[in-house]
Chains A and B, each alone.
Chain A
Amino acid sequence: MKSQFGKKLQVLIVEDHPLDRKILLNMLSSSPIGEFETRAAASLSLAFEEIMQHRFDVVILDLNLEDSRGIDTLQKFHRKFPHLPVVINTGSYQDDLGLQAIKKGAQDYLVKGTYKSYMLVKSLYYAVERKKAEEELKTAYTHLKETQIQLIQAEKMNVVGGLASGIAHEVKNPLATIIYGVEYLGTKLGHHDDQINLTLESIKEAARTADDIIKGLLDFASLSLLKKTPENLNDVIARSLPLVRLQCDRNGIEVKKALEPQLPLIKIDKNRIEQVIVNVILNALQAMKDGGTLTIKTEAKEFSRQDNGWMDRRSKPFRSGDHVVILDIEDTGPGIKEAHLVKIFDPFFTTRRASGGVGLGLAIARTIMNNHGGHIRIMNCESGGARARLIFRV
Chain B
Amino acid sequence: MSKKKILVVDDEVRFTQMIKLNLEAGGKYDVKIENNAAQAVKVALEMKPDLILLDVIMPETEGPDVVCQLREHDTLKKVPVIFLTATVTKEEVEAQQGRIGGHAFLAKPGSVDDLIFCIEQHLANAR
Chain A contact residues, CB within 8 Å of chain B: 165, 168-169, 171-181, 183-184, 187-188, 207-208, 211, 215, 218
CB contacts (< 8 Å) of B112 on chain A: these are 180, 183-184
CB contacts (< 8 Å) of A175 on chain B: these are 108-109
Segment at the A interface, from B14-22, B32-40, B75-83: B14-22
Check A180 against B12 for contact (C-beta < 8 Å).
no
Which residue of A168, A184, A207, A211 contacts B21 across the interface (Cβ within 8 Å)?
A184
Check B15 against A173 for contact (C-beta < 8 Å).
yes
CB contacts (< 8 Å) of B89 on chain A: these are 215, 218
CB contacts (< 8 Å) of A177 on chain B: these are 12, 14-15, 18
**Roughly how many angstroms separate A179 CA and B60 CA in the complex, as a whole number?**
27
Check B109 against A184 for contact (C-beta < 8 Å).
no
Check A176 against B21 for contact (C-beta < 8 Å).
no
CB contacts (< 8 Å) of A218 on chain B: these are 89
Which residue of B18, B86, B108 contacts A184 across the interface (Cβ within 8 Å)?
B18
Which residue of A173, A176, A187, A215 contacts B110 across the interface (Cβ within 8 Å)?
A176
B6 to chain A, nearest CB (A): 14
- The closest CB in chain A to the CB of B10 belongs to A173
A7 to chain B, nearest CB (A): 62
B26 to chain A, nearest CB (A): 8
CB contacts (< 8 Å) of B87 on chain A: these are 165, 168-169
**Roughly how many angstroms separate A171 CA and B110 CA in the complex, as a whole number?**
13
- A sample of 14 more A-B contacts (CB under 8 A), given A172-B86, A173-B86, is A172-B108, A173-B15, A174-B12, A175-B108, A176-B18, A176-B86, A179-B109, A180-B15, A180-B109, A183-B111, A187-B22, A188-B25, A211-B109, A218-B89
A222 to chain B, nearest CB (A): 9
Check B22 against A180 for contact (C-beta < 8 Å).
yes
In the assembled complex, B57 has its CB within 8 A of some CB on chain A: yes
A62 to chain B, nearest CB (A): 70
Q: Mark B100-125, 1 if CB is under 8 A from A, else 0.
A: 00000000111110000000000000
> 7 smallest A-B Cβ distances: which pairs?
A172-B86, A180-B18, A176-B109, A176-B108, A183-B112, A177-B15, A179-B109
Asked whether A169 and B12 contact (CB < 8 A) given A176-B110, A181-B18, A184-B21, the answer is: no
A184 to chain B, nearest CB (A): 5
Q: List 17 A-B contacts (CB under 8 A).
A: A168-B87, A169-B86, A171-B86, A172-B86, A172-B108, A173-B108, A176-B15, A176-B109, A177-B14, A180-B18, A180-B19, A181-B21, A183-B111, A184-B22, A188-B25, A215-B89, A218-B89
**Roughly how many angstroms separate A184 CA and B17 CA in the complex, as a whole number?**
11
**Roughly how many angstroms separate A179 CA and B12 CA in the complex, as a whole number?**
14
Which residue of A173, A174, A184 contacts B25 across the interface (Cβ within 8 Å)?
A184
- The closest CB in chain B to the CB of A215 belongs to B89
**Roughly how many angstroms separate A168 CA and B87 CA in the complex, as a whole number?**
6
A220 to chain B, nearest CB (A): 13
CB contacts (< 8 Å) of B109 on chain A: these are 172, 175-176, 178-180, 207-208, 211
A229 to chain B, nearest CB (A): 18
CB contacts (< 8 Å) of A173 on chain B: these are 12, 15, 86, 108
A209 to chain B, nearest CB (A): 12
CB contacts (< 8 Å) of A207 on chain B: these are 109
CB contacts (< 8 Å) of A178 on chain B: these are 109
CB contacts (< 8 Å) of B111 on chain A: these are 179, 183
CB contacts (< 8 Å) of A174 on chain B: these are 12, 14-15
CB contacts (< 8 Å) of A215 on chain B: these are 89
**Roughly how many angstroms separate A188 CA and B25 CA in the complex, as a whole number?**
9
CB contacts (< 8 Å) of B57 on chain A: these are 169
A98 to chain B, nearest CB (A): 68
CB contacts (< 8 Å) of B19 on chain A: these are 180
A379 to chain B, nearest CB (A): 35
- The closest CB in chain B to the CB of A167 belongs to B86
CB contacts (< 8 Å) of A171 on chain B: these are 86
**Roughly how many angstroms separate A317 CA and B54 CA in the complex, as a whole number?**
48
Q: Which of A169, A173, A181 has the most CB of B within 10 A?
A: A173
**Roughly how many angstroms separate A178 CA and B111 CA in the complex, as a whole number?**
11
Q: Which of B12, B18, B86, B89 has the most CB of A within 10 A?
A: B86
A203 to chain B, nearest CB (A): 12
**Roughly how many angstroms separate A64 CA and B17 CA in the complex, as a whole number?**
89
Name B48-86 residues within 8 Å CB distance of A: 57, 86
